[in-house]
Structure formats: C-alpha cells, structure tokens
Structure 1
Amino acid sequence: MTAPAYLELAQLLSTATRIEPHLMRTVRLTAAPHLDAGAEGDLWFSDVIGVRNPRMVSFRPSRLPALRQALAARIAASGTDDPVHRVGPVVAAAHVNLPPTLLLEERIAWLTVSTAADDPERIDELLRPALRALVREGRTGVADWFAGAWDRLPPLARSTTTAWQLGQMARRAGAEVRMPQHLALVTLADVATIAAELPDVVIGVQRDDDAILITEPPRRGSKRVKLPDTDPRLLELSDPASGGPGRTVAVTGDRTSVAWPGTGPVRITTARGAVYTLPAVAQPVVPVPSDLGGRLRSLRYSGGVTQRELASIMDVSVSSISSWENGFVVPPLPRLELYATIFGLEEPPRPYRSPPAVEELTRAERTRRRALLDELVRLRDEALGHRVADPAPPWVPLRYPPGERITVVVSQVPSDLRGTNPLADPRSPDFVESYRYADLDALIEIHGHLRAVNPDNEVRITTPDQLRPDDMSSHLVLLGGIDWNPVTRELMQAVQVPVTPIHRDPESAGGFRVTVAGTEQTFTAVLADGQLREDVAHLLRAPNPFNLRTTVTLFEGIYGAGTYGTVRALTDASVRDRNANYLAAVSDVGSVSVLFRVPVIANEVVVPDWTMPGTVLHVWPAPDGR
C-alpha cells in the first residue's frame, strides 16, 4: 500500500518547530517538486498535525520520531547533490526571526537527521548556551521552552548530560519536565556545574547487611548527608581502603538499596565536594550466647561471613539463615550438622563453595565438629522444650465455612509473552494449561494451603476470561494486580479503599498510591542494578461486593515477588499466626487493607512479618478511623 503523498512532505518538514504556508511550499518545491500543491492541503489537515491555526501548524510530538527516522534514512541514502540536503538551510532561513530557543531546537533536530553518526558531544555544545542563560542570567523563559520542547527533542538530545542539567534547572524554575529518573552518563561533576543554584536536601545513609540503604527522610541512626536537590539525587560511594574509582548512585523514591559487600569504611561524596564516612563494621568478640539462634549468629560472625555467603555455602535461602538466627524457626538436625562441619574447619569457610565431606576432615577438625555439634543439639533440644508459640489467632484469614465454594482467580500471561513455548500452546500435544498462569509460585502456595485448611470445600482455579457467573458469588481469592487481572481492577473500583494501584508501563514503574485526608503518598519498589531488592505488596480482605455473605481476598504486588510474599505472609508456618493476630488487632469490622514491604535478597523473597517495625507502610481502617 502506497503511503499518502503528504507524508513525504511531513518527513521533509519534521525538523521545523512550526510550519507556515510559505515554508511548506518552499520545502515542497525545493526537495519534492514531484508533489502537487494538494499535498500541502492534505498535510495541513492531516492527523500528524497537533496544533493548527490560520498562520501555522506544528506536528504531534508522538509522530515526530517516525517522520525524522524516515528523513534521516533518505538523507543517508542520497548523494550530496540531492536537494533533500537543502531542507535544513531552507527552514533556518525561513525562521531567522524566531526566538533563539526555537532556532536551537531546529538546529538540534536537523543535526540528528543529517549526521550519519550519533554526536551527543555536539548536541551538548549546542545546549550549553541555553543552560548558561538559565543558570547565570536567570532567563526563566528557557525553562518554559525546555519543558514544552522535551517531547519534541530527539531521543539522542534528551539523553545528553546538558539536557539533564537543563531539566533540573527548569524544575527549579517551576517548570514541569517529564524526564527519566536515571541517566548512566550523569556524574557528580555534571551536578556540580549547577549545584550553586540548587537547594539542599538531607538523606540518610546506613548499612543494611550486604547493602547500603539510602532513605529520604533519614531514618533514626543513619548518617545524615546533605546534597543538591536533583531528580534523581546523585552521590558517590567509594572504598577508601582500595583507592579505586567511586560508584555513582542514583537515589530514587524514599528508599534505595545498593549492593555493597564487605565490612570496611565507606566514603560518601556529594556534588558539592562534601565527604562523609560510614565507619567500618566493628567485629567484636561475641560471647557465646545461651540460645541456639544467638549461637548460630556468633559462629557466623567468628567465621567472618555474611548471611548471603553462608546461605550459598549451605544451599539455603537467606531468609532461612535469618529465621534461624532470630529464633523464629528451629533448624533441622541435618542443618546443624552442616553448621558443625563448616565452623569446625581450620580455615574460615569460603563463600560459594560446598563444605568438605566429614571423612575429608582432619582429626582436629573432626574433634571440633563433634564438640560443636553436641553443643548445637543441646541448644536445639532446649529451644524445642521451652519455645513459647504464638497465640492461636481468633480467626484464620484463609479458612472458610465447610462446604462453601472458593474460587482462585489468577492472572493469565499475555499470549505475546508466552512466545513460542510449545508447552503453552493449546495446539501442542505437550500443552500444559498451567503455563498460561502468571504468579505460579503464589498460585501453587495458595492452592495447597487452601486445600489443606479447607478439606470440605471445593477450590477452583480459573482465569478472568473463564469466570462463570456463579463464581463471582463464591469466596474469591485474587492473585495479581490490575495490569493483568481485570477482576482485580473491578474489585478495587467496587471496594472503597484508600489504596490505588498504579499501572506499570514504559513511562512508569508502577506502585501504589495512598490517599488520606486529601494527601497523596506513592510507594514504589526498590531496584538496584536492574535487580529487585524490595517489592511493595497489598493484602485486601473485604466482603464480596457481588455477594455480601462471602468474602474476597486480594494478594497483589508491583512485581510477582510482592504477590508471592503476600501469600506467604498468611501461609508460612513461622509467621502466619503472628500476621493473623496482627490483622485481628487492627480491624474488627470485616474489612482490612495492609500495604507493606517485601524484601528480596539474592532473588529470594523474605516472608514479611507485619509486626516488625518498618514493614507495614499503611493499614486501613487506621487506628484513628481514617
């Protein structure tokens, strides 16, 4: 199918910020004389135009990338005598009296389509006078121009450090600029260029096991660091002992976690040149504790290994190590035997290496192992004999009256994400229906638990597109958020809860918005180096709006880890009674909503305990009735 003639003319004019009738005709006669005058009228009234008045038109910003890409391809394939090379000078001559900022925008656009190689340095050079005018001369009109031009600028221009600096200063001047939160090329030196014009903010920096935790506002006990107010905040972390280069960190949201193994001091440098130091982790002589969890922790400290390193040696999750050391769970005997082998060795255990077999130990190592194992077994027997169990909760959130139906509604993975996997293709002889389901970890966990605590109930699994009318009146258990589960979306509209999920899309990482007394607060997940370090999850328990005699229970997270962590909060034997008691304590009206953090360590979900400080972000109904 042949493209409309006006599209060729639109491509030729795509570097112009505005198009007057005389410019449209001049460009057509210069570079596309084979088009008749009708192409001008067609373009003037076409859908690629976003602004139209009797004197001029301008393009929709969303259509510019494709138009400019086509123009760049034509220029690259043409000879130097092709009249397409004269389009840029023609536009510049026609617009010689336009404001300097619009002329700058046109020069940048023409540069990106007429130059074969990407040249961000040249674009930086073109943008610097605008930055100087805003920073040194206080010309706030530059900020207004930049905010309006952001969507029209070529992607290469938006990715430059000078564009980032302009965006920060435009925000300072009151303009709203939709900029990406992180640019890999931005350094502290780039922030220092504009730092004198920016106010300061105070953040908190502290150690968090094998990571550096950065919070805003600062948490109690954290190192208070003052740095320029940019979006994102930028600081540098370095190891003063090694003398190596520092690592620039972009601080986004109210909580950022940065992987940082080792126990030595950490130097923190800001764009103003201020230097702060986190002291080295003290390695005190730990007295031998009288409880099993404390003894396991002291062994790990004496060996100089982190929880993550020990988990890799023992081939268990980090959450298991933590639960054993904190006394939440008593480890089985085979794990204590492994502890005795590891910490009975002559040399400290090496991370990510399996310990030797018992027969490979030296005589002295076997003697130490035997004595240590006897001690750990004795402490285990004492722990089992004197443990105070959590009190039985007054109600079990996932136990239903006998004989009543339970319907688990799980999101379906979109067909384009299932790809060419034959196991997910209904036409394949090897088709497995479960491959259609999202949140499989959460589904397997919740289904097994529901069957175990409700032996006399029918438990049915279905997807939103296969829901039957009578399913909606049963007890509903919903897995997954609004992105893939439309039933969750309908439920959130029907139940008046002050928590609103935010869609994940190319422009947003998603999250949850809490609105209380007209004040909004947004909570997002924490990612570091592309890895999920902490999700935010939501549990909602309420009467079923489609049948008030039944209930609906929603488990959702920003990512799958949050959904799984929400399920585990009510199924994991080590915390489920404690969390059920928490729900009973905060609500006795039949409805409850809890928004909370779900830590993720080494890709393992740490089961959330809602009674631990800092875990719950919002609960509804609140104690004050809001």
Structure 2
Amino acid sequence: MVQPSGAAYDRAALAARLRQLRVGRWPEAALTQPQLAAALGVGPSSVSSWESVTATKVPPLSRLDGYATFFATRRSLTAPGLLSPDELTAEERAERDRLRKELLELRGSGQLEPGETRSLWQFPDGNPVRLICGELSRENRKDLFTSAKRRNYIQLQAYADLDAMVELYGHVRAENPGSDVQFDLAPRLEHDDLQSHLVMLGGMAMNQGGRTLANLLGLPVDQVTIAEINNGEVFDITRDDGTTEQHGPEVWGDVRAGDLISDVGLFVRAPNPNNQDTTLTIISGVFTRGTYGAVRCLTDPAVRDGNYQYLAERFDLAKPFAVLMKVPVLDHATATPDLRVPTNRLFEWQN
C-alpha cells in the first residue's frame, strides 16, 4: 500500500494512535467511542472522525490536551468527568506531559521549546473561519460610495473597524491557506457561521453578537456607552470580590474633542459555545484604535511572538481567557501593545 506523505501521513499516524489509546490502553475496560466522547465533552462523531485514518479530521489542541489528561491515569475511567491537571499526582502529570508531547508531534504542531512560539491564528483542523464586523449606520457613511446605484459604490464602506478586519483577514488567510476564510457584517451572520472559528470584531454597540457571546462565557467585562466621550463605549469590569472599575481612553485636552492619546482594546479567546471543536474570539475597543491595537497584538511581527509567549505562560490557552489592554495612539499611528509591559495590561481574566 502506498503511504500518504507529509502532513497527511502525520494525520493518519495521529488517528491511529488515538484509536490505539482508546482500545489498547486499558483493553479490559472496552472503552467505546461514546464513552470517551462523553469524558472529553464532545460528540461521538468527533471521536470517530479523529480516529479515521482515511478521512482524518485533526483534533484541536484543547482536545489533545484532554486525551493526554484522560489517558494519564486509570482513574479517568471512574471519574464523573475529565480530571483537571491539578487533580493529577506528580507521576500522572509526568505521564500527561509525555502523552501530550507525543500527540502534538504526531499532529505536526510539535511541543513548544524554550523561546519557540505558536500562533493563535493557526487552525489546522481545517474548519471554516468567519470574521464578523459591525455595520456602520447610514449617517456615518459617505453617500457617494454606499448606494449600489452609485457608480463608485464600495461595499466595504459599511464595515466598522475596517483597518482591523483587513489586517486580520490577510493574516488568517496566510496562516490557514487551505481553509475557508471569509468576512461579513454582523446583520448577515448565518446559522452555519456560528459553528466556525468565529471572530467577532468591533465595539459591542455595532456588533452586539459579541456581547451575547461574552455573556455566555461569563466574561466579567461589559461595554457601556457614555456621552462624555462622544458616545464611546468604555469597559466596565466586575472583579471576583464584587468591586467594579471602569477603563476608558486617555484624551489630551477636552474629553469630547481633544486628541486621543490612548485607547483600550479587549482580546477574548474561548472554545466556541456553539461548537466546542472550534474557537470564539472577541476583539473590541472603545474606538477603532483599540480594536486595531488588540488585533495587532498577535499579528505584528515586532511583538506578536513575545505576546504569545506571555499569554501561553499566563493562561491555559485551552480555556476561556481575556486581556484588556492599553493601546497608545500618536496622531494617525496606533502602537501595538506589548503585553510583557505591565502597564499595558489593564485587566486579565480566565474562567
């Protein structure tokens, strides 16, 4: 038989290893695909597809973490759910780390070495990616370009946070050349879009789906509109102890008409509540500068590796996390926040 080559061979080898773990790790337990799926929190069809060597679908990194945790200890067979890493003994954690490294290498991602980075914008499972933007109101568009009856009609005039969308769309396309990557306006969001790797871009007033999804995550961050800054949306934070705080832009001079010195950006990453095999990302700002800065946080080659390394060390990236960040502004230029600088981090959260 002719063996597939390259990445396809790695995927087939990974599928075979996942099946071997299920049927061969504890053969007397006769572990079924539905039983394993229930422990991992996925559907049986997902486990079936991950084990198929002919039509392999690559599991997300979070699911390989789950596999490693489950098969690190026989206690998983009687536990009510997947054990957390904190519940494992030192010996079990060492076995989990060994299994995780093996599975990541088969997946083609490899284990992170010191100084090595990985992108949060790589989606090797091949699922579609959808970038969803807010829609500008008619009064905020130039009529010359917004009517389809005009000869110079430009459809993108309707998109809020266009700088951020163009920056991220090009980056995601480059990171996932074989995937279906598209962008659209929030009012045109379709049912199937909710199952994809979903990226909600822009303030929650124009892209209210972001607020709905943030509530599903239990995110203790909300955006509220205040008239003092020309109806901009500041961020309200509710901490675990019940105290609240508010973060808004810095302005030179008059708060309504002065020059913007810094904006605030929000970056949220979580498993997609509509499809646990994909991800949800929410990126927002008080103004467009905040959204753009939060996007550039993980696309700007000058700082993205350092930012990723910080996030990987600070959070379990398989679980929902959020960072509220300061985004410096100088005239037309928006600086990319370096999250390794403490003053750039306004609030952090992990569920």
Structure 1, residues 166-219: CA drift from partner, whole Å, max 9, x if none? xxxxxxxxxxxxxxxxxxxxxxxxxxxxxxxxxxxxxxxxxxxxxxxxxxxxxx
Structure 2 residue 251 is matched with structure 1 residue 527: yes
2:159 is aligned with what amino acid? Answer: Y
Question: What is aligned with 1:566?
Answer: 294
Match of 1:606 among 313, 335, 344: 335
Work out the CA distance in 2 between the residues paired with 1:524 and 1:486: 19
Q: CA deviation at 1:483?
A: 1.3
Q: Determine which of 210, 221, 235 is the counterpart of 1:499.
A: 221
Matched, 1:433 2:155: yes
The whole-number CA distance in structure 2 between the counterparts of 1:397 and 1:504 is 33
**2:119: which partner in 1?**
396
TM-score (norm 2): 0.63
Structure 2 CA distance for aligned equivalents of residues 417 and 535 of structure 1: 20
Would the aligned equivalents of 1:483 and 1:504 in 2 still touch at CA under 8 Å? no
Per-residue deviation, 1:509: 4.3
Q: State the distance in 2 between where 1:400 and 1:552 align.
A: 12
Equivalent position SS for 2:294: helix
Q: Which residue of 2 aligns with 1:321?
A: none
Q: Number of paired residues?
A: 232
Deviation at 1:605, TM superposition (A): 0.6
Deviation per CA, 1:417-443: give whole Å up to 9, x if none: 1142x2121222221111111111111
Identity rate, percent: 33
Q: Which residue of 2 aligns with 1:446?
A: 168
AA aligned to 1:620 is W
Shift of 1:392: 1.9
Cα shift readout 1:235-257 (whole Å, capped 9, x = no counterpart): xxxxxxxxxxxxxxxxxxxxxxx
Root-mean-square deviation over aligned CA pairs = 1.9
**8 Å Cα contact 1:532-1:603 kept in structure 2:** no
TM-score (norm: length of structure 1):
0.36
CA deviation string 1:78-132 (max 9, x = no partner)? xxxxxxxxxxxxxxxxxxxxxxxxxxxxxxxxxxxxxxxxxxxxxxxxxxxxxxx
Task: Name the structure 2 match of 1:417.
Answer: 140
Summarize the Cα distance change of 1:413–1:521 in structure 2 as closer, same or farther, 3 Å threshold.
Answer: same
Alpha-carbon distance in structure 2 between the residues aligned to 1:613 and 1:592? 17
Quick one: structure 1 residues 572 and 521, their matched pair in 2 at CA, closer, same or farther if it must change by over 3 Å?
A: same
Instruction: Tell me if structure 2 keeps the 8 A contact 1:480–1:563.
Output: yes
Q: 1:566 is aligned with what amino acid? A: A
Query: Over residues 363-402 of structure 1, what are the superposed CA-to-partner deviations in whole Å (9 max), with x where a residue is unaligned?
Result: xxxxxxxxxxxxxxxxxxxxxxxxxxx9222x42111124
> Which residue in 2 is equivalent to 1:80?
none
Question: Which position in structure 1 is the counterpart of 2:284?
Answer: 556
- SS of 1:611's equivalent in the other structure is coil
For structure 1, the residue ranges without an aligned partner over 5 or more in a row are: 1-389
Report the Cα offset of residue 497 of structure 1: 1.2
Task: Tell me the equivalent position of 2:275.
Answer: 547
Instruction: Work out which structure has the larger RCO, using CA pairs closer than 8 Å and 6 or more positions apart in sequence.
Output: 2
Are 1:402 and 1:456, in contact at CA under 8 Å, matched by a contact in 2? no
- 1:541–1:591 Cα contact (<8 Å) kept: yes
Tell whether the 8 Å contact from 2:204 to 2:210 is kept in structure 1 after alignment: yes
Q: Displacement of 1:503 after TM fit?
A: 2.2
Read off the aligned partner of 1:465 and give its amino acid letter. Answer: P
Post-superposition Cα deviations, 1:443-500, rounded to whole Å, max 9, x if no partner, equal: 1100110011110111111111111110011110111011111211211221111212
Structure 2 alignment gaps of length 5 or more: 1-113
Are 1:410 and 1:485, in contact at CA under 8 Å, matched by a contact in 2? yes
- 1:133-144 to 2 correspondence within 5 Å? none
Label 1:615 to 1:471 Cα distance change in 2 as closer, same or farther (>3 A): same
CA radius of gyration, larger in: 1
> Aligned AA for 1:548?
Q
Paired residue type of 1:527: V
Does structure 1 residue 472 correspond to structure 2 residue 194? yes
The structural deviation recorded for 1:590 is: 2.1
